[in-house]
Structure 1
Amino acid sequence: MEKISATIIYDNNLYKQGLETAWGFSALITGAEKTILFDTGGDGPILLGNMEKLGIEPSSIDTIVLSHIDGDHTGGLGSFLEKNNNVTIYLLKTFPKRFKDNVQTAGAKMVEVEQSVKICENVYSTGRLGNLKKEQSLIIQTDKGLLVITGCAHPGIVKIVNTAKDLLKDDILFAMGGFHLEWSPRSKIEKVISAFEQLNVKYAAPSHCSGQKARNLFEEHFGKNYINIGAGKTITTQDLQ
């Protein structure tokens, strides 16, 4: 596959000065067959404002993947659809009927996800994971390994990474997004880091609900293979060894 890029549009961590931060997550994936917006943050004006500052046209996006129902990942969708409703939205079948009705009323196409599904060439959803908080994550297959992008990792980041490896039988080049470790003790974070090592995750890029303590510990462990991300950061596979 050609070069894949992931740009963080919306995050509570700042990477590029001039962008607005708020609790939530959204990332743009380019270079695949489809141009994918993964999650939409919690606030439409912030999402669209950051897109404008980053030179991203809403009309360039044809696919949206929503990791889970929480407002800090779906709150920007309505504002986005006012700019571009010519998109296909992949959301979990368990999303409330009212939410799905609003998507259809806005004129967007919708795919309800239960099992793992192929979104386009080399791009997959993990399918629904988790019991209490149901969530899907994004997997992108490249010639360097798998890219795993998570919203909040409510089902557990290690489980998500394991699922990606099991589905596509390849090593993980990087795991990026919310790892849901903000409120975890150091001992749990260290167990996750140890599991990443055993699973041969090459690069780690925790953001959103990962928490600063976890970000610091991942940086200590991964060194140059830790990627500091926040709103405005772009990671490309070309830059990863």
Structure 2
Amino acid sequence: MGGHGFSALVEGHGRRVLVDTGTNGRVLLNNMDELDVEPDSIDYVFITHGHYDHTGGLKAFLEARSRPVKVIAHPGIFVRRVALKPERREIGIPFEKEELEELGARFVLRREPFEFTEGFMSSGEIERETWDRAVGYLAEDDLKPDPVKDDIALIIDLGENVAVITGCGHSGVINIANHSMKVSGKPVKALVGGLHLIGAKPETLEDVVKNLDVEFLFAGHCTGLESFAYLRCQMEGVEPLHVGKSVEL
């Protein structure tokens, strides 16, 4: 069942990690059922950032489980966020932290990189040495642009190299790849997820082609059809992400 948002199941090192939960719990649980993935079989949940289309299925997922689960994320995921186009609307996590904890979420919120189980590392807050793709506003006393500092990536150890899962790539895809290489000490074999290149200027896409050092790029969600087409024409190893897609590395 297709739908706006992002969610991926990562299996490796004897663990199952659910990366993000999409927008809608009904869609998430339907697809888990179709793929014969029991909610209780998930060992960890990894939240890439606190936008609704990456966290909206979290409550339904927790309700479908019979036991608590650790949720790895950045401390900033619960800040209140809004978008102003096409009209003002809430775009943050649609749940309170306390109600999720009552349902069994055991939050592990850290800014720094760390290995939370063998072979799986949180990137921590990503160094932004070049452009990023931050969006939206923080809804505090006054609206101010949201830098989306809670945008983190999952780094999976593949032995000689690593795979990196990004939800939306708000930190900038080049920054994400470079930071992942720095904290893991290994090259990036594959970068998987949304790259938030919808509406990107030609010079931004050209920069990705010239400076993104990965072997494979599996791009979907907020990458944008036009931007994906450009990358596919200009780079090798570029493939689309779609519901039900399986990637083996």
Q: State whether TM-score is above 0.5.
A: yes
1:229 paired residue number: 241
Residue 67 in 1 paired to residue 20 in 2? no
Residue 190 in 1 paired to residue 200 in 2? no
| Residue in structure 1 matching 2:147, options 132, 135, 146 | 132
2:87 paired residue number: none
Q: CA deviation at 1:86?
A: 2.5
2:76 paired residue number: 94
CA distance in 2, matches of 1:24, 1:144: 31
Q: Secondary structure at the match of 1:35?
A: strand
After TM superposition, list the pairs within 5 Å mapping 1:46-65 onto structure 2: 46-65=27-46
1:150 paired residue number: 166
Q: CA deviation at 1:104?
A: 1.3
Q: CA deviation at 1:144?
A: 4.3
Paired AA for residue 100 in structure 2: V
TM-score (norm 2): 0.81
Question: Residue by residue, what CA displacement relative to the aligned partner does 1:50-92 show, whole Å, maximum 9, x if unpaired?
Answer: 1111221111101000011100000000000001142110121
CA contact (8 A) 1:139 1:148 kept: yes
1:213 paired residue number: 226
1:7 paired residue number: none
1:115 paired residue number: 112
CA distance in 1, matches of 2:8, 2:157: 17
CA contact (8 A) 1:152 1:179 kept: yes
CA distance in 2, matches of 1:55, 1:83: 14
Q: CA deviation at 1:218?
A: 2.0
Tell me which of the two structures has the higher relative contact order, counting C-alpha pairs closer than 8 angstroms and 6 or more residues apart: 1
CA contact (8 A) 1:204 1:222 kept: no
CA distance in 1, matches of 2:104, 2:117: 21
CA distance in 2, matches of 1:93, 1:46: 27
Q: CA deviation at 1:221?
A: 2.5
State, as a whole percentage, how many aligned pairs show the same letter: 30
1:202 and 1:71, CA in 2 relative to 1: closer, same or farther beyond 3 A?
same
CA distance in 2, matches of 1:186, 1:44: 36
Residue 22 in 1 paired to residue 26 in 2? no
CA distance in 2, matches of 1:22, 1:183: 20
Question: Residue by residue, what CA displacement relative to the aligned partner does 1:137-192 show, whole Å, maximum 9, x if unpaired?
Answer: 10011124110110011111111111100011111100010111012123211211
CA distance in 1, matches of 2:15, 2:211: 31
CA contact (8 A) 1:204 1:218 kept: no
CA distance in 1, matches of 2:115, 2:20: 17
1:5 paired residue number: none
TM-score (norm 1): 0.84
Q: Which runs of 5+ in 2 are unaligned?
A: 80-94, 129-145
Q: Secondary structure at the match of 2:155?
A: strand
Q: Secondary structure at the match of 1:73?
A: helix
CA distance in 2, matches of 1:144, 1:210: 28
Q: CA deviation at 1:32?
A: 2.3
Which has the larger share of helix? 1
The more displaced of 23-32 and 125-134 is 125-134
User: Which consecutive segments of 4 or more residues in structure 1 shift more than 4 A?
Assistant: none
Aligned residues: 214
CA distance in 2, matches of 1:176, 1:78: 24
Q: Which runs of 5+ in 1 are unaligned?
A: 1-19
Q: CA deviation at 1:193?
A: 1.7
